[in-house]
């Protein structure tokens, strides 16, 4: 490493470390303010509180490091441009790429470390943070529900909600875990969660309960309700949590998420096998009827054929008294099958959304690391263009770029979770935008200087 590279590397290191310290502190204080209510009235000791805060430092560092690289790059090269060091280097025959090359190498080094951190340390710390939170909840047990994610800690049931507002939630779907012989599916437009003594109560409003024998879809029962309660014993809940080995996507390494994707694909294949079996039994022969809409169209066609055939039979056999009982039973059976097909495709959709979350998280472990290099690519020429302004301008521009990046990241993640775009595209889109922005700024800087 020559003298110039050592100098530029040293100039990048100190602002980076200071930026990491400041940004991590700010984000940590924000988290502390939000989390303080979890400790109040729990009777926790100081060691437990500090352990919980320490374990939650992992995701804060994962966010602060890329942002710190952007701020330090803008500050470092802005100061060098202000003191005419950039002009002196270019006068000595050093081109723009060689000027920012040490910063890019530094960003690459940080990116490698962050990639390892995101894959090995971050999942474990997130997992241990949740286990510690479970122990804290024992002081006042409750369900930890996150919209869009399956809640597996309820004995006998798996629940997913679309929206959550405090203890109230909307668009609730609850599936029975025993799917060997029969399946129970509960839908509700609204619900709420409350705990009292040794019981947790889930109050559901305006919904339906669907029960079906998986070996024979003709055995089907549908119950509508205005209110419905599910009572959960604290002892059963805590036992279920203690034996829980499942991790969320943010608590898994890449190989673990790949395994979970494979398991969900196997479950989806099993559901399709059940669907195809019933399609064959009820006489759906259209090979293109693979979607829910197409299957419903085929069922409606079968119902119409049955009604027409019975009408013709009455015309040509007017002297024979034909009972409508068989026709009604057949139509009822088709309606039951149609309802269960809807339940099956809802389950498939939820498994696919879960797989999309895993895929997005796999990509994020690498996109956030690569963003370190791209933020350096943007920050170095941006600092040369700004020149004056010091910490204020550097922080303002850096925060603006990071907010745009983070908004694009969340937007792409949500679209991918809903299966509207490919998870890879949704995850890498912010980096693509950042790379294009960096190249444009670098080109403008080269022209100006």
238 and 259 in one domain?
Answer: no
Distances (CA, A) of 157 to 5, 60, 196, 219: 60, 33, 20, 21
**Residue 40 pLDDT:** 64
Residue 433 in any domain: the answer is yes
62 and 11 in one domain?
Answer: yes
Residue 200 in any domain: the answer is yes
User: Residue 161 in contact with residue 169, Cβ under 8 Å?
Assistant: yes
Residue 273 in any domain: the answer is yes
**Residue 320 pLDDT:** 42
The answer for residues whose C-beta is within 8 angstroms of residue 325's C-beta and 6 or more apart is none
39 and 120 in one domain?
Answer: yes
84 and 18 in one domain?
Answer: yes
133 and 28 in one domain?
Answer: yes
The SS3 call for residue 418 is: coil
**Residue 286 pLDDT:** 83
103 and 26 in one domain?
Answer: yes
Distances (CA, A) of 212 to 179, 209, 218, 333, 342: 10, 10, 8, 12, 12
Q: What domain range is 229 assigned to?
A: 157-245
Residue 63 in any domain: the answer is yes
- Transcribe 373-395 into DSSP letters: HHHHHHHHHHHHHH-S-HHHHHH
Q: pTM here?
A: 0.73
88 and 29 in one domain?
Answer: yes
> How would you write the pLDDT of the chain (449 residues) with one tens digit per residue?
578 788 888 888 888 999 899 999 999 998 888 877 666 656 677 888 888 899 999 999 998 999 899 988 888 888 888 888 888 888 888 888 888 988 999 999 999 999 999 999 999 999 888 888 777 765 554 556 777 777 766 667 778 888 887 778 888 888 887 656 777 888 899 888 777 756 778 889 999 888 877 666 667 778 889 888 887 766 555 544 444 456 888 889 999 999 999 999 999 999 999 899 888 888 888 878 888 889 888 888 887 776 665 555 544 444 444 456 666 777 778 888 888 888 889 889 889 888 998 999 999 999 989 999 999 999 888 888 876 555 567 667 778 888 889 899 889 888 887 778 889 998 999 999 999 988 888 888 877 66
185 and 102 in one domain?
Answer: no
341 and 321 in one domain?
Answer: yes
CA distance 449 to 445: 6
Residue 262 in any domain: the answer is yes
Residue that terminates a domain, selected from 245, 265, 288: 245
438 and 337 in one domain?
Answer: no
**Residue 55 pLDDT:** 92
260 and 182 in one domain?
Answer: no
Residue 149 in any domain: the answer is no
Query: Among residues 20, 65, 61, 8, which one has the least CA distance to residue 372?
Result: 65
**Residue 419 pLDDT:** 78
Residue 146 in any domain: the answer is no
CA distance 72 to 380: 9
Residue that terminates a domain, selected from 353, 375, 398: 353
Q: How many domains does the chain have?
A: 3
pLDDT digits (tens, 9 = 90+) for 177-211: 765 677 788 889 988 877 775 677 888 999 988 88
**Residue 230 pLDDT:** 84
pLDDT digits (tens, 9 = 90+) for 30-61: 888 887 766 665 667 788 888 889 999 999 99
User: How many alpha carbons fall within 13 Å on the CB side of residue 260?
Assistant: 24
Residue that terminates a domain, selected from 353, 385, 417: 353
316 and 394 in one domain?
Answer: no
Residue 148 in any domain: the answer is no
């Amino acid at each position: 490493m020559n003298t110039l590279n050592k100098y530029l590397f040293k100039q990048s290191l100190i602002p980076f470390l200071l930026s990491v310290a400041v940004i991590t502190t700010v984000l940590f204080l924000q988290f502390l303010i939000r989390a303080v209510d979890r400790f109040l009235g729990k009777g926790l000791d100081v060691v437990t509180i500090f352990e919980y805060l320490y374990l939650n430092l992992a995701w804060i560092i994962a966010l602060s490091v890329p942002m710190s690289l952007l701020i330090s790059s803008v500050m470092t090269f802005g100061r060098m441009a202000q003191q005419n060091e950039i002009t002196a280097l270019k006068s000595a025959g050093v081109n723009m790429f060689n000027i920012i090359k040490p910063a890019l190498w530094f960003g690459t080094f940080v990116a490698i470390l962050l990639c390892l951190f995101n894959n090995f340390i971050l999942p474990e710390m997130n997992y241990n943070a949740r286990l510690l939170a479970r122990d804290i909840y024992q002081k006042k047990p409750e369900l930890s529900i996150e919209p869009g994610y399956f809640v597996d800690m309820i004995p006998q049931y798996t629940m997913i909600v679309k929206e959550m507002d405090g203890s109230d939630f909307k668009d609730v779907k609850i599936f029975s875990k025993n799917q060997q012989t029969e399946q129970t599916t509960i839908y509700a437009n609204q619900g709420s969660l409350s705990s009292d003594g040794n019981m947790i109560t889930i109050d559901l409003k305006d919904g339906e309960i669907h029960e079906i024998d998986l070996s024979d879809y003709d055995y089907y029962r549908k119950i509508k309700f205005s209110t419905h309660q599910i009572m959960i014993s604290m002892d059963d809940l805590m036992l279920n949590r203690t034996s829980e080995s499942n991790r969320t996507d943010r608590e898994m390494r890449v190989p673990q998420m790949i395994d979970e994707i494979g398991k969900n694909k196997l479950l989806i294949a099993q559901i399709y096998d059940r669907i195809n079996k019933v399609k064959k039994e009820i006489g759906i022969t259209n090979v293109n009827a693979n979607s829910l809409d197409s299957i419903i169209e085929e069922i409606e066609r079968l119902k119409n054929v049955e009604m027409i055939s019975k009408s013709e039979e009455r015309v040509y056999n007017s002297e024979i008294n034909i009972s409508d009982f068989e026709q009604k039973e057949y139509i009822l059976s088709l309606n039951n099958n149609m309802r269960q097909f809807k339940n099956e495709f809802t389950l498939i959709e939820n498994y696919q959304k879960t797989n999309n979350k895993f895929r997005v998280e796999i990509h994020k472990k690498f996109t956030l690391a690569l963003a370190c290099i791209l933020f350096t690519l943007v920050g170095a020429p941006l600092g040369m263009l700004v020149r004056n302004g010091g910490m204020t301008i550097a922080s303002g521009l850096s925060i603006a770029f990071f907010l745009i990046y983070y908004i694009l990241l969340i937007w792409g993640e949500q679209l991918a979770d809903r299966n509207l775009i490919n998870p890879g595209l949704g995850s890498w889109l912010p980096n693509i935008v950042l790379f294009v922005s960096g190249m444009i700024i670098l080109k403008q800087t080269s022209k100006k200087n």
